[in-house]
Amino acid sequence: MSIERVREFLDSGKPGFMKLMGFRLGDYSADKVEGFVEVRPDLSNRGGVMHGGAIMAMADTLGGAGTIANLPEGARTVTIESKTNFFAAIPVGDTARGEATPLHRGRTTMVWQTKITRSDGRLAALVTQTQLVIEPKV
C-alpha cells in the first residue's frame, strides 16, 4: 500500500477513530511519520489533560502508517504489541505532536518508536510498538 493511499485515507474525513480525534497527518515518508492532535476537551481525562488512551491511539496510527510505507507489495500489517511510558501531561488546548521512526524493519515484524511531545517541546510519552507483516497468500 502506498503512502499516497494511507494519506488519502487519513485526510479523507471518512469515519474512523483518527477522524473522531481530529488527527492530522504531517510529514510522511518511509523513514519518519509525523502527526498532530489538538487536545480538545473531549479528548481529556478526569484530570483535565489529554487522556493517555488518546496519546496511545495517535502513536498507534503513526507506527502503523510507518510500517505501511515499508511493506512489500500486497502485504498488510497489524499491531501485535505496544508499550508506552508517560512522562508529562498534555493540557487541554495544547497540540500533541507525534513522530514515529523505525527501530527495526524486518520481513516478519517492524518495530517503531513514537515520541509524543507538547508544544513546549517537552517529551510527554514514548511508545514502542511491534507490527506484524502479513504477506499475501500465494
| Binding positions for a copy of itself, rule: CB under 8 A | 6, 9, 15-20, 41-47, 51-54, 56-61, 64, 76, 78-87, 89, 103-104, 106, 108-109, 111, 123, 126, 128, 130, 132
Smallest distance, Å, CB 121 to a copy of itself? 14
Smallest distance, Å, CB 26 to a copy of itself? 18
Complex with a copy of itself: residue 57 or 69, whichever CB lies closer: 57
CB 16 within 8 A of CB 67: no
Q: Which amino acid is at 124?
A: A
Radius of gyration over every alpha carbon of the chain, rounded to an integer in angstroms: 15
Q: Using CA atoms, how far apart are residues 136 and 121, in angstroms rounded to an integer?
A: 41
Complex with a copy of itself: residue 19 or 32, whichever CB lies closer: 19
Short-list 126, 3, 135, CA closest to 64: 3
Short-list 20, 130, 137, CA closest to 66: 130
Complex with a copy of itself: residue 29 or 80, whichever CB lies closer: 80
Smallest distance, Å, CB 119 to a copy of itself? 19
Q: Using CA atoms, how far apart are residues 75 and 15, in angstroms rounded to an integer?
A: 24
Smallest distance, Å, CB 129 to a copy of itself? 9
